Amino acid sequence: MSDSLKNRLDSVRRRIDEACRRAGRATDEVTLLPVSKTFPSEVLREAAGLGVRRFGESRMQEIRQKDADLADLHPQWVLIGHLQTNKAKDAARLVTEVQSLDRWSLAEALDTRLTAENRVIDVLVQVKTSPEPSKFGLDPDDLPDFLQRVSELSTLRVKGLMTMAVNSPDEEAVRACFRRLRMLRDQMVARGHTHLSRLSMGMSGDFEQAIEEGSTEVRIGSAIFGAR
Ligand SMILES: *Cc1c(COP(=O)(O)O)cnc(C)c1O
């Protein structure tokens, strides 16, 4: 069991390195965020034994439980799922980073709670790059105003953008989502948002394409931990 988790982690790291080489990029330009959502705390403990410190999780309830179970390991929780505003208090207390900041009301709620906790965290703005109605994310047209407003909140450091590509067998459609996020980032940097260096894009099924399109961080669950 522990052997197979190690093998899957090694294999994903190798595929990331190979995708970097194909794209003519340095391998240290792409970070791996293991996504442990739905897997029990013992599995995270095993991953921590293999050197994993940051864990991608989708739900505050699960983070709360796992943080209690794994308190001795001081894991870093990265929130990648839709956050209800009424859970901002827990998030402000427990997470090191939010990659799913998708609306102003959430930014305000987090700022209020982080101020109370006397904490500052990194955030990525989740942008909707696919037409699927079920996907969360900010409308790309709203990005300039949104970044302007969030830059006035002292508790949130915006470091980049995050997206989920369309769930489609059409590789070109998937790549178009990644390309769109990269272009948006470049446009925002040109407008003076020079701190937007990170692009969190790519999951188990599409991370190699994402790396070829400029991803700086891939969020990988099932290829490491198994099917959910
Ligand atoms: C679950 C999830 C992932 C990981 O998905 P896999 O296909 O298991 O790699 C990545 N990003 C987000 C936002 C997720 O919710």
Q: What is the mean pLDDT of the chain?
A: 96
Average pLDDT over residues 7-15: 98
| Ligand 1 geometric centre to CA of 203 (Å) | 6
Q: CA 156, CA 158: separation in Å to the nearest integer?
A: 6
Residue pLDDT, tens place only, 26-57: 999 999 999 999 999 999 999 999 999 999 99
Direct distance between the N- and C-terminal alpha carbons of the chain, in angstroms, rounded to an integer: 16
| Ligand 1 geometric centre to CA of 152 (Å) | 30
Task: Say what the pLDDT of residue 118 is.
Answer: 98
Place of tokens 């792409």: 30
Task: Say what the pLDDT of residue 111 is.
Answer: 98
Pocket of ligand 1 contains residue 204 by CB under 6 Å: yes
Residue pLDDT, tens place only, 151-207: 999 999 999 999 999 999 999 999 999 999 999 999 999 999 999 999 999 999 999
Question: In Å, how far are 108, 175, 205, 214, 216 from 185, measured between CA atoms?
Answer: 23, 15, 23, 11, 12
Pocket of ligand 1 contains residue 220 by CB under 6 Å: yes
Average pLDDT over residues 130-143: 87
Task: Say what the pLDDT of residue 134 is.
Answer: 66
| Ligand 1 geometric centre to CA of 135 (Å) | 12
Domain segments of the chain: what residues?
A: 3-225
- For the CA of 219, the closest atom of ligand 1 is 10
Percentage above 70 pLDDT, the chain: 97
Three-state SS for 98?
strand
C-beta separation of 91 from 69 below 8 A: no
Task: Say what the pLDDT of residue 113 is.
Answer: 98
Task: Say what the pLDDT of residue 3 is.
Answer: 61
Task: Say what the pLDDT of residue 171 is.
Answer: 95
| Ligand 1 geometric centre to CA of 33 (Å) | 10
Task: Say what the pLDDT of residue 163 is.
Answer: 97
Pocket of ligand 1 contains residue 109 by CB under 6 Å: no
Percentage above 90 pLDDT, the chain: 96
Place of tokens 């791996």: 32
Average pLDDT over residues 131-157: 92
Pocket of ligand 1 contains residue 203 by CB under 6 Å: yes
Q: Which fold, 3-225?
A: TIM Barrel (3.20.20)
Which of 102, 163, 181, 219 most suits a substitution to test ligand 1, by most atoms within 8 Å of the C-beta?
219
| Alpha helical stretches, state H, the chain | 2-22, 41-49, 60-69, 88-94, 104-117, 143-150, 171-190, 207-212, 222-225
